[in-house]
Structure 1
C-alpha cells in the first residue's frame, strides 16, 4: 500500500515522517493540518496523498511505524533469560528512555494516540493495540519466575503496580531527557539518575511482593 513511499530515499522518508510526527504530536487527529506537514516536509499535497492516499492512512502508517521501532528495540535488547520481573522492567525502562535520544517526538505522538477520540481512527487504533498488547505481553513476560512472589500475593496486581511505577518515573524524566538530547553528558546523567530512582522503588516493592529480596 505504501510501496511508492518506501521506494524513496531513506532521508526523504524520514523528513516526511518527522514532519508528520511533529504535527500529530502537537495536535489531535482532527485538528492536525496536512498543510503544515507538507510545508515542513517541503512537498506538495498531491505528493503526500500519492504516497499515503489519505490523512487517515498517513496517521495509521505513523502509528505502526513508531510502535514497530519500540517493539523491535524491546525484542532485540530484552534479556528473556532474566526471570526477575523487576529486572525485566528495568531493562524495558532503559530501552524506552534511550530511544528518546534518537526519536524524541516518538513518545509524544504515542501519548496523543492513547487519548485520541476521533471516530475516523479510534477503532483501527484499538484493534492494532489489542494485537500489539497480546504479542508484546507474551514476549515481555515469557520466562518470568512467578514463584518469587509471596503465595498470598496476586501476581497480576503486583505486575500492574510495577508497571505503573515504571511508567510514572519514566514520564517524570522524559521532558528533561528530551531537552538534553543534544547534550550526551547531561542526557546520560539524567538517565542514570532516573534508573537509580527506579531501582530504589523496585527495592521497596520487592520487600512487599517477593519471598526473598536479595535477588
Structure 2
C-alpha cells in the first residue's frame, strides 16, 4: 500500500510528510486542510490523492510513520538486560524527552491523535494503539525482575502507579523543554532537572514497593 509514494525520492517524500505533519499537528482531523498540505508541499491535490486515496489514509499513514520512528528509537536504545523496572523507565523517559529536541512536531501530532474524536479515524487509532501497546509492553518489559516487589503488592496497580508518575513528570517538563529547543544549554539543564526529580520519586516508590531498596 502507498507504493507509489514510497517510490518517490527522499526529498519529495519528506516534503509531503512534513507538510502533512505541520497541518495535523496544529489542527484536528476534521479541520485539517488538504488544500494547505498540497500548497505547502507544492503538489496538486490530485497527486496527493493519487498517493493516498483519501484524507483518512493520509492521516493513518502519518500516524504509522510517526509511531514507527519513536518505537524504533526506543527499541534500538533500550537496555533489555536491565531487570529493575525503575531503571528501565528512566531509560525510556530520558529517550522520550531527548527525542523532543529532534522530533518536537511529531510529539505535537501524537498528542493530537490521543484526543482525536472524529469517528472517521477514532476506531482505527484505537485498534492500532491496542496492538502497539501490546507489542511495546512485551518488549519494553521483557526481562523485568518482578521478584523485586514485595510479595503482597498488587503488581498491576504497582506498574500503573510507576507509569502514571513517569508520565506525569515527563508531561510537566515537556512544555518547558519545547520552549527551549533553540537553547541547548537550557534544554539540557531542564532535562537533567527532570531526571533528578524522577529519581527522587522512583526512590520514594521503591521504599513502598520493593523488598530491598539498597543498590
Fold match, TM over 0.5? Answer: yes
Distance in structure 1 (CA, Å) of the matches to 2:192 and 2:31: 38
Q: Shift of residue 48 of structure 1? A: 1.2
Q: Secondary structure at the match of 1:37?
A: helix
The yes-or-no answer on 1:22 pairing with 2:22 is: yes
Instruction: Spell out the pairing of 1:1-215 with structure 2 (5 A cutoff).
Output: 1-215=1-215
Q: Shift of residue 168 of structure 1? A: 0.8
Post-superposition Cα deviations, 1:44-69, rounded to whole Å, max 9, x if no partner, equal: 21121122111001100011011101
Q: Runs of 4 or more off by more than 6 Å in structure 1?
A: none
With over 3 angstroms needed to count, the CA separation of the structure-2 counterparts of 1:160 and 1:18, relative to structure 1, is: same
Q: Secondary structure at the match of 1:30?
A: coil
Distance in structure 1 (CA, Å) of the matches to 2:187 and 2:18: 22
With over 3 angstroms needed to count, the CA separation of the structure-2 counterparts of 1:180 and 1:139, relative to structure 1, is: same
Q: Secondary structure at the match of 1:104?
A: helix
Q: Shift of residue 40 of structure 1? A: 1.9
Structure 1 portions without partners, runs of 5+: none
Q: TM-score, normalised by structure 2?
A: 0.96
Post-superposition Cα deviations, 1:86-108, rounded to whole Å, max 9, x if no partner, equal: 00000001111111111101111
Farther-moved stretch of structure 1 (79-88 vs 10-19): 10-19
Q: Secondary structure at the match of 1:174?
A: helix
Q: Shift of residue 26 of structure 1? A: 1.6
User: What is the RMSD of the two structures over their aligned residues, measured on CA atoms?
Assistant: 1.2
Farther-moved stretch of structure 1 (122-131 vs 5-14): 5-14
Q: TM-score, normalised by structure 1?
A: 0.96
Distance in structure 2 (CA, Å) of the matches to 1:11 and 1:84: 42
